[in-house]
Amino acid sequence: MAICHDVAEVRIGDITPHDGVPPEEKVRIETEAMLDLAKGFPQGERMLELYREYEAGKSAEARFLKLCDKLDMAFQSYVYQSRTEKDLNNFRITANRLVVEYGYPDLLDGSIE
C-alpha cells in the first residue's frame, strides 16, 4: 500500500500543501496518474485497490501509513533545513498539525529537533 501510494509521484512529483494545489485537485491529478501507470503492471488492478484504500484512509493500515507519510514530511524538513538558509518551519508546523489530526498530539513535541 505504501508503495502504491507513492507510485503516482513518479509521474507527477510530490504535491505538498505548500504547492497551493487544492486537495480535490491533488486527488484528481494523483488518481489520473495512478490509472495510467497501473495499466503497465500485471497487478495494476490490485495497485489501484491499494491506492484507493490509502486515499480513503479507513483501514488501520491506511491510517498508519498516512501518519508515517506526515512524519516523513517533518523529518525531511529538518534534513532540508540543515542544507539551506530558508526557514522550513512551516513544513514542521503542517506536519505537526496533521499528526495531531491523526490522533497523536504529542508525537512531534520536540522529539525530532
DSSP letter for each residue of 25-91: HHHHHHHHHHHHHHTTSTTHHHHHHHHHHHHHT-SHHHHHHHHHHHHHHHHHHHHHHTT-SS--HHH
pLDDT of residue 109: 62
**Cβ(39)–Cβ(112) below 8 Å:** no
What average pLDDT values come out for the chain (113 residues) when binned by 10 residues? 88 85 93 94 94 92 88 79 78 76 69 48
Q: What is the pLDDT of residue 75?
A: 80
pLDDT at 15: 87
Q: What is the pTM of this model?
A: 0.74
Measure the CA–CA gap between 52 and 20, rounded to whole angstroms: 23
Q: How far is the C-alpha of 40 from the C-alpha of 43, rounded, in Å?
A: 9
d(CA 96, CA 105): 8
Q: What is the pLDDT of residue 110?
A: 54
